[in-house]
Each structure stands twice: as C-alpha cells, then as structure tokens.
Amino acid sequence: MNALIVYESMFGNTRKLAEAMAGALETTGADVTVSPACEAPADLSDYTLVIVGAPTHAHSLPRPKSRAEAVEWAVDPTKKLSLEETARSTGVREWLEGIMLVGNPRFAVFSTRADIPRIFSGDATAAIRKGLRRRLADADAHADFLVGLDNRLLEGEEGRASEWAGGLVAVPSA
C-alpha cells in the first residue's frame, strides 16, 4: 500500500501526529510519504490511502488571516511557541482546491483542536470532508486530537494517532 499523509501545522502538533501515523503505517509494510500541504502532490494517482490533517482555526481550516495570527502568537515570548517552517505558506484548504482525483484512493482526515467542548472549538475535519466532497470524494474515517490551552498536544495523543492510523489499514475500501 502507498500512503500519503498531508498536513498543515503551525506549531508542530499536527506534524507530530502525521509522523506518528506514518510510523504506524510503516510497521504494516506500507510505503508512506509525509508532506506539508504546501509541498504535497496534487496528483494522487500513486496512492491507495490519503490521510489529510490540519489544525482547527475559528471552527474550520486555517485561512491566511488565522495563519498570520499564529505567526503573531509565536513572536510572543510568553507563549513559548515555535513556528513551523511552512506555517506562513498555503495549507490544506488550498491543497484541496488543486487535487486531481485520478484512481480511487481512500481518504481519512484528522484535526487538532483545543481541549474544550467541540461546540466551542469547532472541528477542521468537517471542512476537510467538505473540500473532498467538492472533488467528489469523501473520507472513510475521521479523528480529532486534542491540544491544551498552551497549544501543546495532550499526553497520549501521539499514541492515539498511531493506533488510529494503524486501524485504517484494516478498514476495507468502499
């Protein structure tokens, strides 16, 4: 199986989850490519599984304005945040607009969101699925992973991401 994991990450949380997922898939024998959305291929014909993940910003996927706000947060020394190299680039929202669905890859989506009730935080997976449906595709599975109010992954989330990704191998394609 060839798998592609496309992610957008501001402070490294979504990237860490993508890397944990890749590790789990590789243990099953999958050939895995992990790529930030701004560098991800638009042609998905080489992949049987595509996993797409992003942080939740204002109840949805990041936009240029929310990315700029993330840059401002990282500049604040009291927050102790490190900005990812690709945080100023385009992200999952823009990547979804340009993908070419040749072949029939399975999709799974994930997001990071604040550890507060979903009604307050929102969930980027809904926006990712909407972007896929615009391309006449949908996701077989979705998951949310939590970050604390300090913008760091909660304990155990990387392990949970590994388990979730490993479970995708056993899910038959529709």
Residue 33 sits in which domain range? 2-170
Separation of CA 17 from chain center: 8
CATH number of 46's domain: 3.40.50.360
How much is the pLDDT for 71?
92
How much is the pLDDT for 101?
84
The residues, any chain, with a CB within 8 Å of residue 55's CB and separated by 6 or more, are 8, 9, 10, 13, 14, 62, 111, 112, 113, 124
How much is the pLDDT for 174?
47
Instruction: Give the tens place of pLDDT for each residue, 75-126.
Output: 999 989 999 999 999 999 999 999 988 788 999 999 999 999 999 999 999 9
Predicted structure pTM score:
0.93
- Only one residue has tokens 């979705």, namely 142
Tally of domains in the chain:
1
